[in-house]
Amino acid sequence: MTVKERIIRQAIAAAEKELAEIEYLINTPFLSLIIEHRQKVFGMPREELTGKVLDAAIQHEKKLFALAERANSEMLALGDRRVELSSELGQLNRELYFETKAYKSEAA
């Protein structure tokens, strides 16, 4: 594996990771998750609702609200970034193809 090929593979992995995070933010129905979480907590027997359980539930709900707010406020920017990353991934994969093809022909 050449240095160029290694760098391209690292760039592809980073772009795929960022794209997965963006897809998660765009496609996840956070409000539904919050409602399901509340129903789960309120459906628990009273004996199980300790302070520790409630604190954990509140923290989880705060995280979901923060993610929902971020997704809603940055929806256009996330969509633009998703398009940029998809294009970048296509270019990187094309470069990787030609790099591996050139490396194989040199090795043969």
This prediction's pTM: 0.70
Specify the amino acid at residue 63. K
CA–CA separation, 67 vs 74, rounded Å?
10
Per-residue pLDDT, 19: 96
The one-character DSSP state at 50 is -
Q: Which of 28, 31, 107, 6 is nearest to 75 (CA)?
A: 28
pLDDT digits (tens, 9 = 90+) for 63-76: 999 988 988 888 89
pLDDT digits (tens, 9 = 90+) for 44-97: 887 777 888 888 888 999 999 998 898 888 889 999 999 999 999 999 999 999
Range(s) of the domain holding residue 50: 3-107
- The number of domains in the chain is 1
CA–CA separation, 61 vs 96, rounded Å?
42
- The tokens for 70 are 């971020």
Confidence of residue 33 (pLDDT cuts 50, 70, 90): confident
